Structure 1
C-alpha cells in the first residue's frame, strides 16, 4: 500500500512538473500563436484529469494566484488609456500573454467547477469579467491600429472628375427643329484602368498585430465581436470612398425621377466607381481578410461578404434604376458604357464572390448585365421607330440639313464605336426583331435606321410648296448622309454599293432641281424660230423677271456643304449663261442693246450668290 501511494505521489509530481512546463511555454514571448494555443490545449487537457480533493484544493489555490497575477496585468491598462500597441510590441506581447493566461484559467476553472465548489464559481466569474474587459480593450486597440495604418491611395487610383463635373449637353430627339445638334462623341473613355491591381489597405507591418488580436479573441470565443468590429471599420472606409467617388446612395425612386442629363452624369461616375470598387478596392479587401482571418476557415469569406454587400447592392440598385427608367435615345450610350463595364468585370466578380455566401451578389450582378443588354436592344428599336415617326408640322427653313439628319447620323457614328458589343446583343433576336439578324447585325440595324431617316426626310420635304426647294432639301440631307459615311469607319457597315446608290439619289435631286427651276426659264431664251422684235423683247423681259424671282428667293436657300454648293452653282451657271449668251449674241441686233438688261457676267455673279442661306446663317459661316 505504501508503495502504491509512493508511486501515485511520484506520478503527481511528474504531471505537476509537466503542467508547469506547459504553462511556462504558453507564457513565453518567443513562441508563435500556434504554439501558444497548443500549450493552452495541453494545459486544459491536464487540468481535466481526475483529481483528489486535496489536489483540487491545491489547484484552486494555484489558479487563484495565477488569476490574480494575470488580472493585475490586464487591469493596469484599464487606468492607463494609452494605446498598448502604440507603446511597442513588447508591451502588446505582455498584454496578450496575460489575456491568454486568463482565457486558459477560465477553462481550468470550468473543469474544476464540474465537481462543484463555491470558490471555483467565484474565481470563474472574476476571470470571465476580466476577460470581457480585455476583449473590449482589444477591440479599441484593433480600431486604433487600423485607423493609424490605413493606407492612402495614390492620386492615380482616384483619377475621377470632381463632384461638380459638368453635365453633358445631350440633346433630345424631340428638341425643336431649329435647334442645331452638334456632332460629338458620347463615349466615356473611362479614366484609369486597373488590371488585377491589388493594393495594401493597411501597412503590411501591422498585419501580424491584427492577426494576434484576432487569434486571442477567437481563442476566447469572442470571434463575433472581432468580426463585427473589423467589418464595421471597413464598411465605414468603403463609405468614405463612395463619397470620394461621388457615388450617392440614392433610392431607385429617386433615380427614376432624375432628369436625363443629370442621370447621364451620374452614370459616368458610376462606371468609374464600379471599376475601382470591384477591381481594386474589394479585391484588395478580400486579400486582407484572407491574411487576417484565413486560418479560421470560411469566417473570412463571410466577413468579406458582409463588408461588401451593402456597397455592391447600392451600385447594383443604381443600375436597376437606370434599366427601369425611360428608354430615351440619349441614354443609349450611357447604357452601353454600363454594359461594357459590367462585361469587363465578370471575371473579377466571379472571383470575388465565388463562394456560396456571395452567390446572391454574383447572381444580381449577372442579372443586371442581362437586363442592361435587353434595355439596350429595346432602346435601339425604339430609336428606329422614333426616327421613322418624328413629326413635323412646318417645312424646315431654307431647305438646309434638318436637325434630325444631324442627330441621327452623329448617333450612327457613335453607335459604330460599340460594334463588338452591339453585334453580340443584336445577334440573338426573335419575333418582330428578326429584321436585325444578319452576318453583321449592326450593319443591318444601321441600314434600317438610315432608311427610316430617308423616309422621314422625304415626308418632311412634302411640306414645301416650292418643288425646287423640296429637291434642295432632299439633296442636302441625302448628301449629308453619304458624306458622314463615305471615308469613315461606317463604310464597313454600309458598303460601297450603298454609297453609290445614295450618291445617285442626291445627284438625281440635284438634276431635278435644275430641271424644275431652270428649264422654264431657259425655254424663254431658246431659239424657236420666231424672230419678231416684239416677241423677242417680250421673251427677254420674261426671262429677266424669271431669273430675278429665282435670285430673290433662292439666295436665301441653304446648301451648307461648300463643295456641293459650288458644284450646283457651276452646273447651273454653265447651262444658264451658255443659253443666255447664245440668245443675246444672235438676237441682240433685233432686240436692241438698250433692252438687254444683264450682261452674261452679271448673271453669273448672281448665280454665284445662290444658296448662301438667310443673313444670320451667312454671318455665322463667315465667322
Structure 2
C-alpha cells in the first residue's frame, strides 16, 4: 500500500477572513475564520490506493481463490484490511481528530460547548474530507476492486461495499454530530456553516450513491437522508431563534446617542446578505408559520423572502424603540434616517437586488426615508418660522428661502 500525500490540496487557512459584514463588490464572501462558500480549486489527483504491480499479483491470487471456492474468505479479509486503510485516510483528513475534539471535555467549556473557532475548523475539515473521499478515494477504491476482482462481479461488489461502507458511514456520522454540537457564541452563528454543509453534501451525495449498490447503497442512502434532515432541521430552528433574538433583544443603553447606525442594524443586514447566498437551500428547509390574514398576500413569496421581511420588520421595531432614547427630536430623526438608509442601501446591493427587494418593498423603504427627512425638517425649521413676523418685509432672497422651507414643511 502506497503512502497518501495531500500536497495538491490547497491550504484553506490562507483564505480571506470576513464575518457578518459586507465586502467590496467582486470579492467572494466568507464567514468567520474564512471558509469560502465557492468551490475550492483542487487539482485532479490521481493516486493508486494499491500499488499497480501489487494489483497484478492480487488479481492472480483472487482468481485462484475464487476458483477454489474461497470467495467469502477473500471478501471478508479484503474488506477488513481496506476498511482500516480508509479509516487511516479519514484520520489524515482530520475527521477522527474532529470527532475526538468534540467528545473531549478538555476541548469544551464547562457548559459542554466548543469555541466557534474550533467548530469552524472542524467544519472545514469535514467538507474537505467529504470532497476528497467522494471525488478521489471512493472512485480509486472502486477501480482497484474492478481490477482485482473483475473476474467475478458479485465478489467485486461485495469487496467494495465491505471496504467503503463503514468508512463512508463514519464520515456522515461526524457530519450529523456537528449539527448537534453547541458553541460558546450565539448558536445562530452556525447557520451559514450548516447551510454550506447541506449544500456541499447535496451536490456530492449522488456520486456516493452511484458508486454503491445493493444493501450497502440502501444503508448509506438512509444515513445520507438522516444527515440532510439533521442539518436542515438544525439550521431552520436556529433561523427562527434569530427572529426571537431580534424581537426580545433589549436596546443597548450604552450606545452613543450620536445618530449613528445601530449595531443591530449592521449585524442583521450582514446576516441577511450572508444567508442570501444560500437562499435556495433555505427555501427547502425553512418552515414558517404565516398568519391567516397574511396567507393570501404571502403565498407568492418564498420561505426565504417571508423570513427576510419578518426579520426586517422586527429590526424596525427595535430601531424605533432605540429612537425613543433621543431627547433631541432632530437627532432622533437623523438616527432613524441613517438606519433606514443602511437597509435601503443593502437592498440595492447586487446580492439582494434580485431577491425579496421588489419594486414595492424598495419603494416602501424610500417612502420611510422621505418621511423621516420631512419630520427632521419640521423639527428643525418650525421653531424658526414661528419667529418670523408678518410685519417684517423680507428681502427677495429671504422670501425665496422662506417660501421653499414652508413648501417643504
* TM-score range for the pair, normalised by the shorter chain length: 0.7 to 0.9
1:378–1:301 distance in 2 versus 1, CA, 3 Å: same
Aligned to 1:418: 278
Aligned to 1:462: 324
Q: Give 1:208's match in structure 2, choosing from 53, 56, 64.
A: 56
1:249–1:228 distance in 2 versus 1, CA, 3 Å: farther
Q: Give 2:79's match in structure 1, choosing from 215, 231, 234.
A: 231
Contact 1:395 1:461 in 2 (8 A): no
Q: Radius of gyration: which is bigger?
A: 1
Look up the SS of the partner of 1:491 in the other structure.
Answer: coil
Aligned to 2:164: 308
1:205–1:286 distance in 2 versus 1, CA, 3 Å: same
User: After the TM superposition, which residues 276-315 of structure 1 pair with which residues of structure 2 at under 5 Å, given as runs?
Assistant: 276-315=132-171
C-alpha distance in 2 between matches for 1:431 and 1:412 = 20
Q: TM-score, length-normalised on structure 1?
A: 0.53
Aligned to 2:370: 507
Contact 2:172 2:223 in 1 (8 A): yes
Look up the SS of the partner of 1:392 in the other structure.
Answer: coil
**Alpha-carbon shift at residue 226 of structure 1 (Å):** 4.2
User: After the TM superposition, which residues 156-235 of structure 1 pair with which residues of structure 2 at under 5 Å, given as runs?
Assistant: 156=8, 158-161=9-12, 170=19, 185-186=30-31, 187-192=36-41, 200-219=48-67, 223=71, 226-227=74-75, 229-235=77-83
C-alpha distance in 1 between matches for 2:30 and 2:371 = 32
**Alpha-carbon shift at residue 337 of structure 1 (Å):** 0.6
Contact 2:71 2:155 in 1 (8 A): no
Look up the SS of the partner of 2:266 in the other structure.
Answer: helix
1:476 lines up with 2:330 in the alignment: no
Aligned to 1:329: 188
Contact 2:323 2:335 in 1 (8 A): yes
Aligned to 1:139: none
C-alpha distance in 2 between matches for 1:509 and 1:348 = 55
**Alpha-carbon shift at residue 233 of structure 1 (Å):** 4.2
Q: Give 1:250's match in structure 2, choosing from 99, 103, 115.
A: 99
Superposed CA offset, 1:28-67 (max 9, x none)? xxxxxxxxxxxxxxxxxxxxxxxxxxxxxxxxxxxxxxxx
User: After the TM superposition, which residues 306-385 of structure 1 pair with which residues of structure 2 at under 5 Å, given as runs?
Assistant: 306-326=162-182, 328-385=187-244
Look up the SS of the partner of 2:306 in the other structure.
Answer: helix
Contact 1:387 1:452 in 2 (8 A): yes
Superposed CA offset, 1:259-310 (max 9, x none)? 2232122112211211221232112212312321243453333332332234
C-alpha distance in 1 between matches for 2:82 and 2:383 = 83
Aligned to 1:561: none
The CA RMSD measured in Å over matched residues stands at 3.5
**Alpha-carbon shift at residue 480 of structure 1 (Å):** 0.4
**Alpha-carbon shift at residue 522 of structure 1 (Å):** 4.9
C-alpha distance in 2 between matches for 1:500 and 1:202 = 64
C-alpha distance in 2 between matches for 1:507 and 1:369 = 45
1:258–1:381 distance in 2 versus 1, CA, 3 Å: same
1:403 lines up with 2:263 in the alignment: yes
C-alpha distance in 2 between matches for 1:204 and 1:334 = 40
C-alpha distance in 1 between matches for 2:66 and 2:187 = 54
Which structure has the highest helix share of the two? 1
1:294–1:203 distance in 2 versus 1, CA, 3 Å: same
1:241–1:260 distance in 2 versus 1, CA, 3 Å: same
Aligned to 2:407: none
C-alpha distance in 2 between matches for 1:529 and 1:297 = 107
Give ranges in structure 2 of 5+ residues lacking alignment: 24-28, 403-409
Aligned to 2:405: none
Aligned residues: 374
Q: TM-score, length-normalised on structure 2?
A: 0.78
1:390 lines up with 2:249 in the alignment: yes
Look up the SS of the partner of 2:358 in the other structure.
Answer: helix
Look up the SS of the partner of 1:399 in the other structure.
Answer: coil
